[in-house]
Structure 1
Amino acid sequence: MARAGVYFSDVKRARDGLVAEGRHPSIDAVRAALGNTGSKTTIHKYLREIEAGEGARKAGVSDAIGALVTQLADQLQAESAIEVEAIRARMAEQHEAHEQAQAGLEAQLADARQTLEAVSRQLARTEHDLAGLKEQLGVEQIARHTAQQHNRDLGERLADAQQHQASLEEKHRHARDALEHYRSASKEQREQEVRRHEQQVQALQAELRQAQLGVSAKQEELTHLNKEAAALATELGTSKQSLHLERETGRSLARKVEQLQAGETRAAVLEAELAESRSRVSAAEQASARAAELCLELRQQKAVLEARLAGAQDAAALEERLAKLDKAVFGAGEGREAGE
């Protein structure tokens, strides 16, 4: 249980213990060291008496220390002002150099962005041209396939027509051979009939009429065969003309195929240019990223320099800190009395 009061010796012993520990001997700290015993008014009174006694003993030394502290403070303030001005000048120069470097980098970044935009536009045009060429290539390939199929169909029709023509020519040759044979046989028969007896003239004439009828039939058949041969010749001419047109179409398609191959070559060149443009876009993006990193680094250096400048400016407050230190060392009693 706490005592009702404390003595001067108790307060002095508690205060000396706190000072020895490097702690500030405030009223609350002293009362806590006393085991929360004694009134704050009594403790405050004893503390003032102790500090008054110590102040009388240190009065002679305090004046010399105060003068020395004042001289050191003045010298430190002058040196700090010179150093602050030098730091400010260096900071101004570095800030101007950094601003110039940042302006140059921003200009390079703007140029890189313009180059990137130009390359992007060129890339878009190249891709559009490539798409058009691919579409044209598809159309030409379909047309070439159709023409090749049509050419094969015409070749088959031409082969059929040539085979039919050969068959008709064979029939026509057989008809001519039959007619020649018949004519030879008729002539030989007429000669034999003339050498025969006049009594057989009527019979021969009758046979001659029959033969003539047969010849008329054969001639009609021959005329019909000639008409068929003429029709076949006309059809053959038409087929040859169609074949000529198809060959012209084939040559035209060959030219189109050559143009298509040239288009494919141009498409390959455009694809190579597209790859090069993409490479240039990648290089421009990397340059832009490096420029952004350099700008960030310059901003960080600027922040560090500004922090150093702020730290240098803090030196100007050193005098105030020394004054506070002097007050804490030599005027602690008065300050604590005012605080209490």
Structure 2
Amino acid sequence: MKAAQIVAADGRNPTVDNVREALGSTGSKSTIAPLLKRWKEQFQSAGAPKTESGLPAELMEAMRGVYHKQQRDVAQQLEQAMQENRTELNTALEKLKKTESERLKLTEIRAALTQELRATQHALEQLKEEHHFRAVTLATLHSDNAGLTQRLSDRGEEIAALNRQLAQVRSQFDHYQEASAIQRSEERQAAQQRESRLEQENAQLQQRLQGQQATLVQQDGRLTQLQDEHGRMAVAANADRVALAALRPERDQFEYQYLQAAASADALLAKLETAMQALGDTKIALATQDRQLDMQAEQAKLSLLREQQITQERDALLREHAVLLAQAEVRAARKTDR
């Protein structure tokens, strides 16, 4: 009957279908039809009691019930929406805490990488100083080698002069055999003395050459150490690159989670913007570290080229040393023949 009054108050015909729709599409038509017929007989023929507003009391009661039901539904929906909002807010706070923790971890990792980079730079500076020292040493050896070569050339000229003098003495020997016997003896003594001095000088030269050989052996050992250090530095640079590559997926995940937290909690926009600024600084720092690692790799390549140049110069010194030894052996053989 209340549903029929509501349908009539809306200006519609209170049919069975309209009343069933007002009841929420429930109820059997065979049950609704006789009750609706009874209502029409009681209220439409005789007239229903009216309230002060001119509407029937049952209609007003039905309207109050509908109004209260709507208020309860709205309050329930509002409470449900507030509960969902609180749940989303708590979820956003948890995500923000997790994001802040990950940001602190990334900061610690960046500090560790910065410290390792400083250590690598210090090692590279030491390597540069050692390369400079080796270059100065090699220049000194080149200078000594040039001096030894010049002295050997001077000794060769002296030996050639002695040979010419001996040839002149022999040419005059037939004519002045008796008169030049004493003079020849003196000249022989002088020649022996000169040969003795030359032998002493040759011995000194051989000692110098032996010293150069020892220096070259030491330089070979130092070169091996530098190559080992270069290998270790290359391995460290590769490890740094692998660590940075491992950090990039975490950084991407951090950005994704950060954007989700920003979309789900507009009230936390200020904190999220601060975190995004920190993430940008982290990206810049990582990019700077990538460039520094590339520069280290380039410097390592330059060091390798310098080591190859040093090796070539050492081989040249060894060849010059072999030539000097061969010349000394030839000169000693000529003295033995005389």
**1:89-128 map, 5 Å:** 89=87, 91-93=89-91, 95-96=93-94, 98-100=96-98, 102-103=100-101, 105-128=102-125
1:77 corresponds to which of 63, 75, 78: 75
- Secondary structure in 1 matching 2:118: helix
Residue 168 (structure 1) shift:
4.8
CA pair 162-72 structure 1, distance change in 2 beyond 3 A = same
Deviation of residue 66 (structure 1)? 5.6
More deviation, 120-129/70-79:
70-79
Q: Could you say which residue in structure 2 is the equivalent of 1:236?
A: 195
Q: Deviation per CA, 1:137-164, whole angstroms, max 9, x where unpaired? A: 3223212322332232233233333334
* Contact kept? 1:161, 1:236, Cα under 8 Å: no
CA contact (8 A) 1:102 1:295 kept: no
Q: In the comparison of the two structures, how many residue pairs are matched?
A: 216
Q: Tell me how far 1:120 sits from its aligned partner.
A: 1.0
TM-score, L = length of structure 2? 0.51
Aligned runs of 1:44-193 on 2, under 5 Å? 64-65=62-63, 67-89=65-87, 91-93=89-91, 95-96=93-94, 98-100=96-98, 102-103=100-101, 105-169=102-166, 182=178
Distance 2:194 2:84 in 1: 111
C-alpha change, 1:260 and 1:283, in structure 2 (3 Å) is: same
User: Contact (CA 8 Å) 2:120, 2:233: kept in 1 or not?
Assistant: yes
Residue 225 of structure 2 is aligned with which of 242, 245, 266?
266
Contact conserved, 1:91 with 1:305, CA < 8 A, in 2? yes
Per-residue deviation, 1:108: 2.7
CA contact (8 A) 1:154 1:243 kept: no
Answer whether contact 1:140 1:257 (CA < 8 A) is retained. Answer: no
RMSD: 3.7
Query: Structure 2: which amino acid aligns with 1:88?
Result: R
Change beyond 3 A, Cα 1:57–1:239: farther
For CA contacts below 8 A with separation 6 or more, give which structure has more relative contact order.
1
Cα gap change, 1:270 to 1:66, in 2 (>3 Å): farther
Alpha-carbon deviation of 1:64?
4.2
Cα offset, 1:58, TM superposition: 8.9
Cα distance, 1:131 vs. partner?
0.9
CA 233–65 in structure 1, closer or farther in 2 if over 3 Å, else same: farther
CA contact (8 A) 2:89 2:264 kept: yes
- Tell me if the contact between 2:99 and 2:258 (Cα under 8 Å) persists in the aligned partners: no
- Find the aligned partners of 2:55 and 2:239 in 1 and give their Cα distance: 81
After TM superposition, list the pairs within 5 Å mapping 1:17-32 onto structure 2. Answer: none
- CA-CA distance at 1:284 after TM superposition: 4.1
Distance 2:208 2:255 in 1: 68
What TM-score comes out, normalization by structure 1 length? 0.51
Q: Aligned pair in 2 of structure 1 residues 308, 139: CA closer, same or farther (>3 Å)?
A: closer
- For structure 2, the residue ranges without an aligned partner over 5 or more in a row are 1-52, 270-338
1:298 corresponds to: 257
Partner of 1:276: 235
Q: Report how far residue 178 of structure 1 moved.
A: 6.6
**Aligned partners of 1:59 and 1:299: how far apart in 2?**
60
1:38-68 superposed Cα distances (whole Å, 9 cap, x missing partner): xxxxxxxxxxxxxxxxxx8999978745642
Give the conservation status (yes or no) of the 8 Å contact 2:95–2:257: no
2:209 equivalent to 1:250: yes
**1:215 — aligned with what?**
none
The AA in structure 1 aligned to 2:216 is V
Contact 1:161 1:239 in 2 (8 A): no
Distance, in Å, in 1 between the alignment partners of 2:161 and 2:268 is 109
CA deviations 1:178-234 (Å, max 9, x no partner) are: 77x64xxxxxxxxxxxxxxxxxxxxxxxxxxxxxxxxxxx2xx44444334333322
What is the CA-CA distance between 1:274 and the residue it aligns to?
3.3
Structure 1: gaps (5+ residues): 1-55, 183-217, 311-340
Per the TM alignment, residue 128 of structure 1 is displaced from its structure 2 partner at its CA by 0.8
CA distance in 2, matches of 1:224, 1:121: 79
What corresponds to 2:321 in structure 1? none
